[in-house]
Chain A
Amino acid sequence: MPAGCQAKAGRDFAGEPIMNKDDFILKAEGIYKSYRMGVTEVEVLKGVDLGVKKGEFVAIVGASGSGKSTLLHILGALDRPDKGVVAFEGRDLNRYSGGELNRFRNKMVGFVFQFYHLLDELSVLENVFLPVMVSKGIIGWFGCRRRARSRAGELLGELGLGERANHKPYQLSGGERQRVAIGRALMNEPSILLADEPTGNLDSATGNGILEAFEKLNQAGQTIVMVSHDERVAQRAGRIVTLSDGKIRQT
């Protein structure tokens, strides 16, 4: 782990006390979200309640357009709910300042998207250590860049991409790109990994490899929330919740 790139033990990055192990690390209560499409208002989430415990691997399934990704974005503070509370380690995300939200996205959560979302201008290695670079100023970065590079290299090695570090994302296959995205998401050792249809754009064999990587991470203690429309993919998670008609049904 790069020095100074994580919260201190026992406290979150904002200095708030960290919850007990058995408590929910992430808890959403009464989440409402609607979008305007032309003249009509589409209500996507209608009072979603969801709790995720530390070390859990939760899969959210549901039909296309059921609001799975919207919920994931709200959980990861990429979007704000119209109503309701998302609490991370007991603290309401609505109360976070802009800077705290940025640090939350940088250090506490790691996103894996269906379409990988890597920066084409950066090499594979640079994409992976980008979150550390983002969290540092120029001087800070020069202080920890060796450790960051080394950690990014290790992550790529673990993900089977050690030889691809200096390639550009467009020189990789879909599965390789997704593994780079996972590496980037894990770079700052986030508390939660949020994956939005991580296998949705991959063939089944490659997707299986990604899921195996998730399982390994979860076994090592990583909390994961994954969104998928595919029941078979969701079966790999420890718990499945179904989003239907804007609300959660536990499975």
Chain B
Amino acid sequence: MYKFILAIRYLLKRRIAYFAVFAVALCVFIVVVVMTVMTGLVSDFRQKNHRFAGDCVVGTESLVGFVYYEDFVKILDQEDVVEGVSAVIKSYALVSPVGTERNVGVEIMGVEPVRHSRATEFGETLHHHRDDVSKAFEPVYEPNLMGCVIGIDMVLSRDSRGRYSYDSGPPVPGLAVSCFPLTAKGALAKAGAGLVNTKTFYYSDTSHSGLARVDSSMIYLPFDQAQMLCGMGEPVKRTNAIHIKFKPDVKLEAGCERVASLWRDFRREKANQKNANLLEKVTVQSWKNYRRAFIAAMEKEQAMMIVMFALVGITTVFIVFVVSYMIISHKSKDIGILKSIGVSNANVMLLFLCFAFLVGFLGSAIGVLGGWRFLVHINEIEQWLYEKFEFQPLWDRTIYAIDDIPNTIDLKVLGVIILSAIAACLAGVLLPCRQAARQKPVETLQVSQL
């Protein structure tokens, strides 16, 4: 009991201990704010990728695609674990606004909007047709025209608050989309003839997935049109990927494993049929693996942040070490007194470990409270800075696809930060308290030492 009482009194009565608490609080505050924002960004990015890809993707990187997808879609439709299935054409195209000579390379994605909205959250990304996805490719100004959905950043720009303006009507005229159709063997389908398939589509909607790369380079076309443009409609129909959404109670790994098992059986069944070789390069991946290349970069940034803040943590360890060293040097007489009345070396150590724990706990509590208050108002603060000084300290919304600064505190992250801060304090006090425990009472109580 005396250990707690003395540790609390040392903390309250030694002004230098306040510096240690302040250092820990400051460190925790910074880490809470940065980790919350960073974790929020990564989590948001992962969610956006999940919404974009669905739960599982059966597909190939090859632009040639694979055959017999309709049969496999039928199999998946009958599966208990599956909620939605959508076959998708993925390719590249040259796009020219009608009446201009300009053209730009884009990615195209051929989807059946209703099916695709069941397998992914495609419908939620639309602006005009969110409530009736079946009409996603019907331009509101002329429903009979062949529509296309355009990645929002290709046609609209963001204002300083990150909002898009739809006020000025259709942002683009018709777009001439040109693709290079490929045969099932990967050769140009129209070699020697016109080479390209071109068709004009009219703006029907924008898609705002929140993924910068997708929103700035993707055009969605009706599935059959995209299939035709890419030469995948005949003689045997092909597609590039099948996006799958599992029912809510199905675990991702279990669902993917089930689909993989179905795919293995399907491949075996089709092994002797025409173009079955195209099935060989098809993989079954969870959305995490499918979008790994994009997510990994973000996670790497987060990992680097953690490493950098671990270095900040080392500074805290050093500050606690110095403060503890000074306090223990000041309190050598107390250590002698305690030993003279029977306190063991281990209990002397425990006393100062207790002190360090209190420094860590109090510092963490102050840092977490401060960080939490700051995060609650972080968007208001940023807005105020922008309105007052036209200063947007974190992300220029006209450039970055970020709506609000993420400020939802993850309790797990918070727990890790608090425990790390306390562990850092205990690590900082370890050497000084070991030294304290080894002090000989006769030396500390000598008149010459007082």
**Cross-chain contact A114 with B13 (CB below 8 angstroms):** no
Q: Which residues of A contact B18 (CB under 8 A)?
A: none
Q: Which residues of B contact A119 (CB under 8 A)?
A: 6, 334, 337-338
Which partner residue on chain A sits nearest B444 by CB separation?
A117
Complex: A106 Cα to B337 Cα, angstroms: 11
**Cross-chain contact B343 with A126 (CB below 8 angstroms):** no
**Cross-chain contact A111 with B338 (CB below 8 angstroms):** no
Given known pairs A121-B10, A121-B13, A136-B1, the reply for A73 and B341 (CB within 8 Å) is no
Complex: A194 Cα to B19 Cα, angstroms: 40
**Cross-chain contact A117 with B447 (CB below 8 angstroms):** no
Complex: A135 Cα to B341 Cα, angstroms: 9
Q: Which residues of A contact B9 (CB under 8 A)?
A: 121-122
Give per-residue flags for B310-353: 1 if the beta carbon is below 8 A from chain A beta carbons, else 0. 00000000000000000000000110111111111101000000
Which partner residue on chain B sits nearest A133 by CB separation?
B2
Give per-residue flags for B266-279: 1 if the beta carbon is below 8 A from chain A beta carbons, else 0. 00000000000000
Q: Which residues of B contact A122 (CB under 8 A)?
A: 5-6, 9
Q: Which of A98, A133, A136 has the most CB of B within 10 A?
A: A133
> B450 contacts the other chain (Cβ, under 8 Å)?
yes
Complex: A184 Cα to B341 Cα, angstroms: 9
CB distance from A126 to the nearest CB of B (A): 7
Number of B interface residues, CB 8 Å?
26
Q: Which of A76, A98, A99, A113 has the most CB of B within 10 A?
A: A113
CB distance from A116 to the nearest CB of B (A): 10
**Cross-chain contact A78 with B442 (CB below 8 angstroms):** yes
Given known pairs A136-B1, A141-B1, the reply for A114 and B447 (CB within 8 Å) is yes
Complex: A119 Cα to B340 Cα, angstroms: 12
Q: Which residues of B contact A126 (CB under 8 A)?
A: 5
Complex: A130 Cα to B6 Cα, angstroms: 11
* A104-152 at interface with B (beta carbon < 8 Å): 104-107, 111, 113-115, 117-119, 121-122, 126, 130-131, 133-138, 141-142
CB distance from B214 to the nearest CB of A (A): 60
**Cross-chain contact B338 with A134 (CB below 8 angstroms):** yes
Q: Which of B1, B13, B342, B447 contacts A102 (CB 8 A)?
A: B342
Complex: A78 Cα to B25 Cα, angstroms: 40
Complex: A138 Cα to B3 Cα, angstroms: 10
Q: Which residues of A contact B339 (CB under 8 A)?
A: 78, 105
Complex: A103 Cα to B5 Cα, angstroms: 21
Give per-residue flags for B1-35: 1 if the beta carbon is below 8 A from chain A beta carbons, else 0. 11001100110010000000000000000000000
> A158 contacts the other chain (Cβ, under 8 Å)?
no
Complex: A104 Cα to B342 Cα, angstroms: 7
> B445 contacts the other chain (Cβ, under 8 Å)?
yes
> A79 contacts the other chain (Cβ, under 8 Å)?
yes
**Cross-chain contact B447 with A133 (CB below 8 angstroms):** no
CB distance from B339 to the nearest CB of A (A): 7
Main secondary structure of the interface of A (DSSP, over half): helix
Which partner residue on chain A sits nearest B8 by CB separation?
A121
**Cross-chain contact A117 with B344 (CB below 8 angstroms):** no
CB distance from A223 to the nearest CB of B (A): 18
Q: Which of B341, B342, B347 has the most CB of A within 10 A?
A: B341
Which partner residue on chain B sits nearest A110 by CB separation?
B341
Given known pairs A121-B9, A126-B5, A133-B2, the reply for A79 and B442 (CB within 8 Å) is yes
**Cross-chain contact B445 with A117 (CB below 8 angstroms):** yes
Give per-residue flags for A59-76: 1 if the beta carbon is below 8 A from chain B beta carbons, else 0. 000000000001001001
Complex: A130 Cα to B5 Cα, angstroms: 11
> B251 contacts the other chain (Cβ, under 8 Å)?
no
Complex: A103 Cα to B334 Cα, angstroms: 18
> B162 contacts the other chain (Cβ, under 8 Å)?
no
**Cross-chain contact A102 with B334 (CB below 8 angstroms):** no
Q: Which residues of B contact A102 (CB under 8 A)?
A: 342-344
CB distance from B12 to the nearest CB of A (A): 9
Q: Which of A106, A117, A121, A138 contacts B342 (CB 8 A)?
A: A106
**Cross-chain contact A135 with B344 (CB below 8 angstroms):** no
Q: Which residues of A contact B345 (CB under 8 A)?
A: 98
Complex: A133 Cα to B442 Cα, angstroms: 22
**Cross-chain contact A134 with B2 (CB below 8 angstroms):** yes
Give per-residue flags for B230-256: 1 if the beta carbon is below 8 A from chain A beta carbons, else 0. 000000000000000000000000000
Given known pairs A78-B339, A115-B447, A134-B338, the reply for A121 and B6 (CB within 8 Å) is yes
CB distance from A100 to the nearest CB of B (A): 10
Q: Which residues of B contact A130 (CB under 8 A)?
A: 2, 341
> B441 contacts the other chain (Cβ, under 8 Å)?
yes
Q: Which residues of A contact B338 (CB under 8 A)?
A: 119, 134
Complex: A118 Cα to B440 Cα, angstroms: 17
Complex: A128 Cα to B382 Cα, angstroms: 57
CB distance from A147 to the nearest CB of B (A): 15
**Cross-chain contact B341 with A106 (CB below 8 angstroms):** yes
Complex: A137 Cα to B334 Cα, angstroms: 20
Give per-residue flags for B424-450: 1 if the beta carbon is below 8 A from chain A beta carbons, else 0. 000000000000000011100101001
CB distance from B158 to the nearest CB of A (A): 60
Which partner residue on chain B sits nearest A104 by CB separation?
B342
**Cross-chain contact B341 with A134 (CB below 8 angstroms):** yes
Q: Which residues of B contact A98 (CB under 8 A)?
A: 344-345
CB distance from B11 to the nearest CB of A (A): 10
Complex: A200 Cα to B181 Cα, angstroms: 106
Complex: A134 Cα to B345 Cα, angstroms: 12
Which partner residue on chain B sits nearest A107 by CB separation?
B342
**Cross-chain contact A73 with B343 (CB below 8 angstroms):** no
Q: Which residues of B contact A114 (CB under 8 A)?
A: 447
Complex: A32 Cα to B1 Cα, angstroms: 38
CB distance from B353 to the nearest CB of A (A): 15
Q: Which residues of B contact A136 (CB under 8 A)?
A: 1
Complex: A106 Cα to B340 Cα, angstroms: 8
CB distance from A104 to the nearest CB of B (A): 8
> 19 A–B contact pairs at CB < 8 A?
A70-B442, A73-B441, A98-B345, A103-B342, A104-B342, A105-B342, A111-B340, A113-B340, A115-B447, A117-B340, A117-B445, A119-B337, A121-B9, A130-B341, A133-B2, A134-B2, A134-B343, A136-B1, A142-B1
Given contacts A73-B442, A106-B341, 19 further A-B contacts (CB under 8 A): A70-B442, A73-B441, A78-B340, A78-B441, A104-B342, A113-B445, A114-B447, A115-B447, A117-B333, A117-B340, A119-B6, A119-B334, A131-B341, A134-B341, A134-B343, A134-B347, A135-B342, A138-B1, A141-B1
Closest 5 CB pairs of A and B: A106-B342, A121-B9, A105-B342, A141-B1, A133-B2
